Structure 1
Amino acid sequence: MLRIGQVAELSGLSARTIDYYTKKGLLAFKRSNANYRLYPQNVLQSLERIKWLQEQRMSLDEIAETMQVPSDEEVEPFVFEVQEEIHVLQQKLTTLEDAMKNTSQKEKELIYKDITEKLKVVMQRFI
């Protein structure tokens, strides 16, 4: 179990932010005999999940709902890996878009069509 200061130090967040997340119901804790809030070791994973969900433009209320759904501990690590891959691909797409600024509209359409078709094939595996 970790005290709020330890969670802040390990996560790089302020104690105030952790306190806010706790009050919003995003983080579970227990009270010690001395009335300190004690967070489980997996609180750092929860904070990473919150950070990622915020990056997906979810509100804290939406995140609170999402956090209530139990995650499959075997699946979640793969989800984070896929999310990282998506992030890398988004960066590559931005680079490609910058490189295509001087490309003709017809060529752009062909490239986007090819990318879209490949993406559809990949996404079908997840549906």
Structure 2
Amino acid sequence: MYRIGELASLANVSKRTIDYYTSLGLLEANRSKSNYRIYSEDSLDTLKFIEKYKKLHLPLEEIKRKLEIKKSREIKETEVEKQIYALAQQMKQLQDELSDLLPLIEKLDDKPKEALAKKLTNESSALLQSLLVITS
């Protein structure tokens, strides 16, 4: 169990961010006998989940829906369809961005291309290759 300051420090976010997420229903706090807000280990996992999807520029409303699905014991077919549709939209956006970048990448010399390739993880490299196949 963590007090708000401890949780903020561990998750590398501000206490104000935790307050905001709590007010939106993304996080749940319990109260201690001395009226401190106490957060569970699950809250830390939830914060990491939220921050991961914020880095992907997903709106908090979408992140909240993903959290609800993650915590749900039963899978609803309509929710799975929504998630697949959202993922397809994100892939389309990536595909469009990649199409815009390809001509620029092709103009680079070998060294800058190699430097870019080194910055990619194995997973992102595989995804990039897949997107290249799709776009060509």
TM-score scaled by length of structure 1 = 0.56
2:131 and 2:16 map into 1 onto residues whose CA distance is: 47
Q: What corresponds to 1:39 in structure 2?
A: 39
Structure 2 residue aligned with 1:50: 50
Q: Give me the whole-angstrom Cα distance separating, in 1, the residues matched to 2:27 and 2:5.
A: 14
The Cα offsets for residues 40-73 of structure 1, whole Å up to 9 and x where unpaired, read as 112222111101211222211221122112359x
Work out the CA distance in 1 between the residues paired with 2:25 and 2:108: 50
CA RMSD of the aligned region, Å?
3.2
Residue deviations 1:6-55, cap 9 Å, x none? 00111111101111111111112211111211111122221111012112
Instruction: Judging by fraction of residues, say which structure has more helix.
Output: 2
Match of 1:62 in 2: 62
| 1:101 and 2:118 matched | no
Structure 2 unaligned regions, length at least 5: 73-93, 110-128
Q: Please name the residue that 1:79 is paired with.
A: none
Alpha-carbon distance change, 68 to 100 in structure 1, aligned in 2, over 3 angstroms: same
How far does the alpha carbon of each residue in 1:54-105 deviate from its partner, in whole angstroms, 9 at most, with x for none? 1222211221122112359xxxxxxxxxxxxxxxxx9xx8xx94541269xx
Partners of 2:57 and 2:131 lie apart in 1 by 28
Runs of 4+ in 1 over 3 A off after TM superposition: 96-99, 112-115
5+ unaligned residues in a row in structure 1: which ranges? 73-89, 104-111, 120-127
Question: Percent same amino acid at aligned positions?
Answer: 36
Cα separation, partners in 2 of 1:115 and 1:14, compared to 1, 3 Å: same
How many residue pairs were aligned? 89
Cα distance change of structure 1 residues 113 and 63 upon mapping to structure 2, 3 Å threshold = closer
